[in-house]
Amino acid sequence: MRNLVFVALTLAACSKTEKAAPAKHAEPAPAATASGSAQPAMAHAQDGELAAKFDPANLPGPGTAPAPVAVTKELDPMWNVPLKTLKGQPAKLADFKGKALLVVNVASQCGNTPQYATLEALQKKYEAKGFTVVGFPCNQFGGQEPGTSEEIAEFCAANYGITFPIMEKSDVNGPNRNDVYKALTPIADAGGHTGDIRWNFEKFVISADGTKITRFAPKTKPDDPAVIAAVENALPR
């Protein structure tokens, strides 16, 4: 009898062990960003919605662009300001003279960073017609561009497949504002704003002949029909 009780208790214990919930696996740690901080890894350009935005065919048609600001020879020095690309190669805006330009201050950890996708779509759609985006990384807005040139280049390539030129990180406001932005910031946007850049991804569309500039606020996306109209109006004739 005592042996039967022991066997019954043993079987009951085994049954409870088999029904116990399996141990949970630890969640993977968030991926580290270029700056070393833990944040969720961004989808690569080939994935999902980003891939669709990359397709230039998905860009809307042009709308109505704001009236551009006419500029004269006072901006001529801007074209020959010595610059360096993320790879350390010498450059200047004059290298792109004769093309329509979209000059934009960029950052890798901003809520506006997905605008990189449609900037690249614009590049692909209009490059053959005489257009290029030129990016200027800047860390002055919430410390959202903390990386080195190498880290910025890697981020842009891995996440957005960027092909347009990007310059070394620099200031766009304040006493150390780079000379390109010293020339551009007095230009007013359609709402009358002049002066300091307000946040990451403020845009200046410069006509191919260098005589007209249209400024857009950071939240105005590159695929906004007004921006697309400004780009088309700026193309070489």
Compute φ and ψ for 131, nearest 5 degrees: -145, 145
On whether the CB atoms of residues 155 and 108 are closer than 8 A, the answer is yes
| Cα 19 to Cα 17: distance, rounded to the nearest angstrom | 5
Determine the pLDDT at residue 75: 86
Compute φ and ψ for 82, nearest 5 degrees: -65, 130
- Rounded to the nearest 10 degrees, the angle between the axes of helix 225-234 and helix 115-126 is 30
Determine the pLDDT at residue 153: 97
Amino acid identity for residue 151 in this structure: E
pLDDT, one tens digit for every residue, the chain (237 residues): 444 333 343 334 333 333 333 333 333 333 333 333 333 334 444 445 666 668 899 999 999 999 999 998 888 889 999 999 999 999 999 999 999 999 999 999 999 999 999 999 999 999 999 999 999 999 999 999 999 999 999 999 999 999 999 999 999 999 999 999 999 999 999 999 999 999 999 999 999 999 999 999 999 999 999 999 999 999 999
On whether the CB atoms of residues 118 and 102 are closer than 8 A, the answer is no
Determine the pLDDT at residue 51: 64
Determine the pLDDT at residue 21: 36
Determine the pLDDT at residue 49: 61
138 is annotated as an active-site residue: no
Residues 6+ apart with CB under 8 A from 124: 54, 56, 163
- Among the listed residues 14, 110, 138, 156, the single catalytic one is 110
Class of CATH domain 48-234:
alpha beta
Whole-prediction pTM value?
Answer: 0.80
Determine the pLDDT at residue 44: 46
Determine the pLDDT at residue 214: 98
| Cα 137 to Cα 91: distance, rounded to the nearest angstrom | 15
Q: Dig out the tokens for 216 from the structure.
A: 């857009």
Determine the pLDDT at residue 74: 80
Domain boundaries, the chain: 48-234
| Cα 107 to Cα 90: distance, rounded to the nearest angstrom | 21
DSSP 95: G
Helix (H) or strand (E) holding 69: strand 69-70
Residues 6+ apart with CB under 8 A from 173: 140, 181, 185, 196, 197
Neighbours of 51 (CB within 10 A): 15
